[in-house]
């Protein structure tokens, strides 16, 4: 095993602390809107509001991009791979179509913003393939693809011959291909949003945690050394939101891990094929994601998720998850067994039991907004959420925001929650393990 503690990166594999850190909030300030959290959601909301002349301040506990936005796999994906069964019956077909439309619109929104904000983040509009690694996965994959198409999200089935013709590595047998979207460098994307926000006059206070807030017509927020007030507050804190006393019964933070290899040599790349470098996710219950980066490394994520008791989000290594990902690397790319792991990291997404976004407003004045959920689909969706929330604050409800409004199922309290989440994760690990053993047996 080549995953070692010295490959662990506490800030993830894409970002460093910025060399122009923004000041802490140390005074009493007023604004039109206060946003807490500087990831895709917070920065996009800030940019949309600033474009209409609003005075916006952003409070970020660490630095912009510290959360999942700076740690993800960089798949800008639409609705491909959504677990439609988790929400279709709950919301009904018509609303499900609109929700699927929201996911797909997230891709187009982000693609537009690259040009608008001048962000170069190595975007490769390759499309995404949800691939099977064993024939037993074909039924579920086809079923999911069929439901997605019925709900308005186009995809095409690729059989073995078509996968080989595309040069996809042979471990991926067949797949559902969505032309929409592709892969990017999430660190460059989130830092591009940060730069654009600063240029637009947004005041970003870094190293500034929100400690508490008091509702009212004017919301007042307290930080360690300062305070701020505004008619609107947006909590764009995603997986960290339960720690602020909100959404604890609606979403759980799940730790998602990643490994990145050293760069492949020219010879290794040539032998690998994969000329279009489509982002690949597998059809496991807990997917594996496999992609090539612009720096010619392989990044693998997910496979093993982790829930920490009490919805905590410690920034710590998850060695068991890194080892599992390395096993996946060897299983799917047996010819690259000697490729060393150059870094590994973890971050937190938030998951509702119906796997849908959790967005809305709270407080007697309905002026405290929140956005969470989106689990592993936040690159497009949490960016687009900025547009929807900004419009709502400016007085118009976007139809896509209306489409997202639904009753999120409630979670059990602890310790039952811990037991339920871990039982579900244990079950999916067992089912996926069975498939992986069959794949290895077939390869021997």
Ligand X SMILES: Cc1cc2nc3c(=O)[nH]c(=O)nc-3n(C[C@H](O)[C@H](O)[C@H](O)COP(=O)(O)OP(=O)(O)OC[C@H]3O[C@@H](n4cnc5c(N)ncnc54)[C@H](O)[C@@H]3O)c2cc1C
Q: Report the site for ligand X in 107-136 (rule: CB under 6 A).
A: none
Whether cis (ω within 30° of 0) applies to the bond prior to 243 is: no
HSE at residue 388, side-chain half, CA atoms within 13 A, is 29
192 binds ligand X per the rule CB under 6 A? no
For ligand X, which residue of 15, 47, 54, 73 counts as binding (CB under 6 A)?
Answer: 73
For ligand X, which residue of 7, 45, 72, 124 counts as binding (CB under 6 A)?
Answer: 72
357 binds ligand X per the rule CB under 6 A? no
Report CA-CA distances (Å) from 383 to 195, 199, 236, 281.
15, 18, 11, 21
Q: Can you tell me the distance from the alpha carbon of 87 to that of 247, in angstroms, rounded to the nearest whole number? A: 19
Beta-bridge partners for 132: 174
Q: Which stretch binds ligand X (CB under 6 A): 166-174, 233-241, 334-342, 359-367?
A: 233-241
Q: Which stretch binds ligand X (CB under 6 A): 72-80, 303-311, 326-334, 405-413?
A: 72-80
Q: Report the site for ligand X in 362-391 (rule: CB under 6 A).
A: 374, 376-380, 382
Q: Which stretch binds ligand X (CB under 6 A): 24-32, 67-75, 303-311, 320-328?
A: 67-75
- Taking the complex as a whole, the smallest distance from the CB of residue 59 to ligand X amounts, in Å, to 5
138 binds ligand X per the rule CB under 6 A? no
Q: Based on CB atoms, which residue is closest to ligand X, 68 or 158?
A: 68
Backbone angles phi, psi at 176, to 5 degrees: -100, 125
Report CA-CA distances (Å) from 279 to 15, 36, 57, 258, 427.
21, 31, 35, 15, 26
Q: Which stretch binds ligand X (CB under 6 A): 16-24, 174-182, 236-244, 321-329?
A: 236-244
Alpha helices, H only, 205-351? 266-272, 319-332
Retrieve residue 412's tokens: 């059990």
Give the distance, in angstroms, between the CA of residue 193 and the centroid of all CA atoms in the same chain: 16
Using CB under 6 A as the criterion, what x/- string covers residues 335-354 for binding ligand X? ------------x-x-----
282 binds ligand X per the rule CB under 6 A? no
Helix 93-117 and helix 186-199, axial crossing angle in degrees, nearest 10: 70
238 binds ligand X per the rule CB under 6 A? yes
Binding site for ligand X (CB under 6 A): 36-42, 59-62, 66-69, 71-75, 77, 209-210, 236-240, 244, 256, 258, 301, 347, 349, 374, 376-380, 382
């Amino acid at each position: 095993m080549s995953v070692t503690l010295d490959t662990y990166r506490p800030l993830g594999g894409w970002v460093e602390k910025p060399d122009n850190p923004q000041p802490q909030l140390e005074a009493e300030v007023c604004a039109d809107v206060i946003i807490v959290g500087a990831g895709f959601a917070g920065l996009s909301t800030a940019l949309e509001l600033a474009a209409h002349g609003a005075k916006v301040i952003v409070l970020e506990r660490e630095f912009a991009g510290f959360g999942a936005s700076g740690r993800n796999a960089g798949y800008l994906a639409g609705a491909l791979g959504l677990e439609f069964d988790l929400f279709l019956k709950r919301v009904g077909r018509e609303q499900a179509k609109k929700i699927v439309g929201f996911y797909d619109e997230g891709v187009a929104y982000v693609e537009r913003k690259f040009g608008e904000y001048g962000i170069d983040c190595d975007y490769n509009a390759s499309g995404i393939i949800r691939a099977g690694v064993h024939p037993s996965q074909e039924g579920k994959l086809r079923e999911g693809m069929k439901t997605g198409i019925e709900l308005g999200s186009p995809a095409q089935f690729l059989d073995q011959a078509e996968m080989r013709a595309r040069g996809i590595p042979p471990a991926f047998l067949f797949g559902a291909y969505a032309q929409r979207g592709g892969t990017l460098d999430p660190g460059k994307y989130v830092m591009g949003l940060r730069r654009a926000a600063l240029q637009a006059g947004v005041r970003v206070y870094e190293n500034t945690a929100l400690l508490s807030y008091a509702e009212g017509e004017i919301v007042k927020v307290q930080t360690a050394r300062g305070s701020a007030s505004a008619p609107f507050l947006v909590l764009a804190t995603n997986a960290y939101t339960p720690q602020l006393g909100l959404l604890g019964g609606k979403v759980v933070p799940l730790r998602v891990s990643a490994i990145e290899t050293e760069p492949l040599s020219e010879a290794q790349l040539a032998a690998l094929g994969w000329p279009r470098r489509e982002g690949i996710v597998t059809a496991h219950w807990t997917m594996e994601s496999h992609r090539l980066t612009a720096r010619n490394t392989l990044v693998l994520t997910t496979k093993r998720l982790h829930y920490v008791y009490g919805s905590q989000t410690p920034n710590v290594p998850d060695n068991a998850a890194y080892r599992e990902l390395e096993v996946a690397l060897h299983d799917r790319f047996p010819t690259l067994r000697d490729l060393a792991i150059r870094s590994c990291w973890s971050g937190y997404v938030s998951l509702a039991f119906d796997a849908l976004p959790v967005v809305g407003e709270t407080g007697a004045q309905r002026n405290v907004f929140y956005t969470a959920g989106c689990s592993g689909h936040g690159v497009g969706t949490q960016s687009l959420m900025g547009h929807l929330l900004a419009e709502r604050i400016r007085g118009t409800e976007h139809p896509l925001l209306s489409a997202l409004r639904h009753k999120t199922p409630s979670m059990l309290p602890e310790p039952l929650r811990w037991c339920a989440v871990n039982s579900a994760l244990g079950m999916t690990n067992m089912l996926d393990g069975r498939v992986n053993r069959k794949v290895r047996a077939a390869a021997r």
